[in-house]
Amino acid sequence: MGKEKIILDVDPGSDDAIAIAVAGRHPRIELLAITAVAGNQTLGKTAKNALKVCSHLGITGVPIAAGMSHPLVREPITAANVHGESGLDGVELEEPKLDLDPRHAVDLIVEMLSSLSGDINFVATAPLTNLAVALRKKPGIAKKIKRIVMMGGSYGLGNITPAAEFNIYADPEAAHIVFSSGVPIVMMGLDLTHQAVVTQDVIKRVECIDNEASRLFVGLMGFYSTRYRERFGFDGAPLHDPTTLAWLIDPSIVETKAMHVDVELRGEHTYGRTVCDYWCALGKLPNADVGVRLEVERFWDAICEALSFYS
């Protein structure tokens, strides 16, 4: 199988950082660009964190651009309670030896999609503001996107409200634009990502890789998992964002189910919920393949293999 070309849209964020690591060296992935957006932390921090992670891991030659600093309509929110004030609490990364691309992320996305032949995956592990604005700025790019592979939403419980998952809740209007764009979508919601828990056994397995990427993983997961134990009573933190890369590397790692997904924009208690028609009750055409079951062992095999490509 050839390489999957991707633009990776992130809000580092501990799990975003591991998604960058997985994409950075994997032989199945061609990382064309990284775009940062406000989400887990403010844009200034998420963009700097993307630079720091790439500089620390020696990921070079990949344009990294800062994008939207605010959601389209709602007031901004962050997830400092989960990722810390820096967005990457748990590690102290050196000042990056890289600079941001001078272009705004939206312009980079539009330029890259317009100039290339349409076989690019847009991988989003953050609020969808950058992609939504790019689709509004140049609607024609929709047919140039091979598929959107995103972490966000759920057909079950939310994590930031009882009904909504953070990436969608942070910019529901942006998510609505993306889910109604007509671009094929693969959605890794919480129902799937909560099967990817970083247990102590996983930590021990990654520690044995013994390189910069594995040490970054262990450092970040220390802080991140403690938050999840305290907040959710989990046995560790779910590695949400890298599930998108794992699917791209080997789609058989995730069982998906075609569903029609709408985003709630008016509900007093359900604002930002992905309303997933699991049983096709409304008979609408599906607009997303939604992750339902993770091949857990093979997922961790893929993550460990991806981290092993670093020195």
Q: Which of 126, 175, 196, 237 binds Ca ion (CB under 5 A)?
A: 126
Instruction: Go through the chain and tell me how many residues it has.
Output: 311
Distances 135 to 89, 111, 130, 199, 218 between C-alpha atoms, Å: 33, 12, 9, 38, 37
Is residue 143 within 8 Å of residue 150, measured between CB atoms? no
- DSSP single-letter state for residue 255: E
Q: Specify the stretch interacting with Ca ion by CB under 5 A; choose among 10-18, 75-83, 87-95, 170-178.
A: 10-18
Task: State the Cα–Cα distance between residues 105 and 108, nearest whole angstrom.
Answer: 5
Q: Which is nearer to Ca ion, 49 or 125 (CB)?
A: 125
Catalytic residue among 9, 11, 16, 171: 11
Numbers of helices and strands, H then E, in the chain: 12, 10
* 277 included as an active-site residue: no
Task: State the Cα–Cα distance between residues 264 and 277, nearest whole angstrom.
Answer: 13
Q: Does 79 bind ligand RIB (CB under 6 A)?
A: yes
Q: Which of 130, 159, 195, 225 binds ligand RIB (CB under 6 A)?
A: 159
Q: Which is nearer to ligand RIB, 83 or 144 (CB)?
A: 83
- Contact track, ligand RIB, 88-127, x by CB under 6 A: -------------------------------------xx-
Q: Which is nearer to ligand RIB, 12 or 24 (CB)?
A: 12
Q: Which of 13, 87, 90, 272 binds ligand RIB (CB under 6 A)?
A: 13
Query: Out of ligand RIB, Ca ion, none, which partner does residue 106 contact, by CB within 5 to 8 A per kind?
Result: none
User: Can you tell me which residue has the tokens 């007509």?
Assistant: 182
Helices (H), the chain: 14-25, 43-57, 80-83, 105-115, 129-137, 166-169, 172-179, 190-193, 200-207, 212-232, 242-249, 296-307
- DSSP single-letter state for residue 165: -
Q: Specify the stretch interacting with Ca ion by CB under 5 A; choose among 9-17, 50-58, 110-118, 153-161.
A: 9-17
Q: Which of residues 165-194 bind ligand RIB (CB under 6 A)?
A: 165-167
Which of 234, 205, 209, 195 lies closest to 82, judged by CA? 234
Q: Specify the stretch interacting with Ca ion by CB under 5 A; choose among 125-133, 252-260, 271-279, 290-298.
A: 125-133
Residues that bind ligand RIB (CB under 6 A): 11, 13, 15-16, 39-40, 79, 125-126, 151, 159, 165-167, 240-241
